[in-house]
Structure 1
Amino acid sequence: MPAPRAVIAIAGGTGSGKTTIANYISAAFPDDVALLPHDAYYKDNRNLTYEERSQLNYDHPDAFDNDLFIAHLKALKAGQAVERPVYNFSTHLREHQTLRVEPAAIIVVEGVLVLAHPELRALYDLSVFVDTDADVRILRRIVRDIHERGRTLDSVINQYLSTVKPMHEAFVEPSKRYANVIIPEGAHNKPGLEVLIAQVRHLIAQHEPSA
């Protein structure tokens, strides 16, 4: 009998390198890892106008549909596939199509606030915090939001100062104390990545059927 599926949570501030590390793990073990990004689970506020949606605080824990996220994570742990939302960061809406995620030996969840929610933390087997300098993170966010999400420079800076930075200080940084592993400088920290990959390999081995 295989062991229960393990869940690895990867948290950290915006632009810290969470997604890069999650994708690195997935590429290292393509047949054994399922990815579940927390930011696909923003609440769908299509009852609001675009202007109203643009003014919402997307960096507060209440911005996420954690009930659905928890239900999907529990389903994957139980060996059931899920249809996860696809979120459009330009319109601040969920797309009508979904993305099927198949269960795997390791389920990697990643997002700025995945360690800030007690009910979520109870589902993790390993918690990782990617600790990257704030100056590096904001520069990465500016590049990403302009090139990938259609934002203007002014809007990115205004959002960072009004919600991202204060919410990081209130919720993200304090959640670091719940991490089992802290990786400074994200994917640039090769020794840290090697330690993490070794732990993932150990968790996968535990899931293998016993002889």
Structure 2
Amino acid sequence: MDNKRWTEELHNSLEQPVSKPIVIGLAGGTGSGKTTVAKRIVTSLKEQSIVMIAQDSYYKDQAQMPMEERVKTNYDHPFAFDNDLLLVQIKQLLQYQPIQVPIYNFKEHTRSKETIEVKPKNVIILEGILVLEDERLRELMDMKLFVDTAADVRIIRRMLRDIQERGRTMGSVVEQYLSIVRPMHEQFVEPSKKYADIIIPEGGENQVAIDLMVTKIKSILKKHELLQA
């Protein structure tokens, strides 16, 4: 192949939209409103092909460990997540292949035997406190978002969630926050904010930011010829 023809084919390939799913990483501290933001984006794009994947589903299986060891798990440390599995499954979705997402049982502190089938979509929102911490995950993302919410608001939200949904006591939530959650946030979560393309203050209450995200996502979908009318 002569240089002129090679140059023309390269130019044409660069001009053609890449028909692959769009991956959006959505991070932020515990209780920052990440899930609310993700759900509102999904709702605003309900006419599009979109799915949300929670990093919380990918906590490591601890079935082989005794309960007294499981309860010591630091859920806010990068080592708590099975990012290897998450990477494999995100890459499968990028190939438009269905995946089996694990279900984590927080009362038993281990992974359930059941899974949830998730079918491939044109937009994948990957949401979790540390999705921007792992370079391998960042490399798969087309857009990286960080939800930035005041610490006092976040601890109140976490307390309500853990008591109502995960069977914890108020005392255990406060102790865990002071000894683990806050130090891990300062060491791992907050530093990952530097990788974000866009920072969203006040989470789900920031409708202006959510509207801007929806507009940008539609723009990317249109560029990739994936926007559904």
SS in 2 for 1:135: helix
**Alignment counterpart, residue 10 of structure 1, candidates 20, 26, 46:** 26
Q: 2: distance between equivalents of 1:209 and 1:97? A: 32
- Number of equivalences: 210
Question: Which of 123, 126, 133 pairs up with 1:106?
Answer: 123
- Over the matched positions of the two proteins, sequence identity in percent amounts to 48
Q: Please tell me the residue identity of whatever aligns with 1:88.
A: N
* Partner AA of 2:114 in structure 1: Q
User: Which structure's CA Rg is the greater one?
Assistant: 2
Aligned to 1:125: 142
Any residues of structure 2 matched to 1:52-63 within 5 Å, and which?
52-63=69-80
The aligned counterpart of 1:23 is 39
CA 209–8 in structure 1, closer or farther in 2 if over 3 Å, else same: closer
Superposition TM-score, scaled by structure 1 size:
0.95
- CA-atom RMSD in angstroms: 1.4
Alignment of 1:125-144 (within 5 A): 125-144=142-161
Q: Distance in 2 between matches of 1:147 and 1:86?
A: 18
8 Å CA contact retained: 1:89, 1:149:
yes
Q: Quick check: 2:45–2:214 contact (8 Å CA) kept in 1?
A: no
Q: Which amino acid aligns with 2:115?
A: T
TM-score in terms of structure 2 length: 0.88
Counterpart of 2:107 in structure 1: which amino acid? S
CA distance in 2, matches of 1:28, 1:50: 42
Report which stretch shifted further, 156-165 or 130-139.
156-165
Counterpart of 2:65 in structure 1 is 48
Match of 1:195, SS state, is helix
Which of 63, 66, 73 aligns to 2:83? It is 66
The 1-side partners of 2:164 and 2:173 are apart by 12
Residue 166 of structure 2 is aligned to residue 149 of structure 1: yes
SS in 2 for 1:123: coil
Q: What runs of 5+ residues in structure 1 fail to find an aligned partner?
A: none
Is this contact kept in 2: 1:84–1:99, CA < 8 A?
yes
SS at match of 2:155: helix
Gaps (5+ residues) in structure 2?
Answer: 1-16
CA deviation profile, 1:165-201 (whole Å, cap 9, x unmatched): 0000000000000000100001111111111111121
For residue 209 of structure 1, report the CA deviation from its aligned partner: 5.7
Point out the more displaced range, 200-209 or 172-181: 200-209
Alignment match, 1:176:
193
Amino acid paired to 1:56: T
Q: Is the 8 A contact 1:105 1:207 kept in 2?
A: no
- Deviating beyond 4 angstroms after TM superposition, the runs of 4 or more aligned structure 1 residues are none
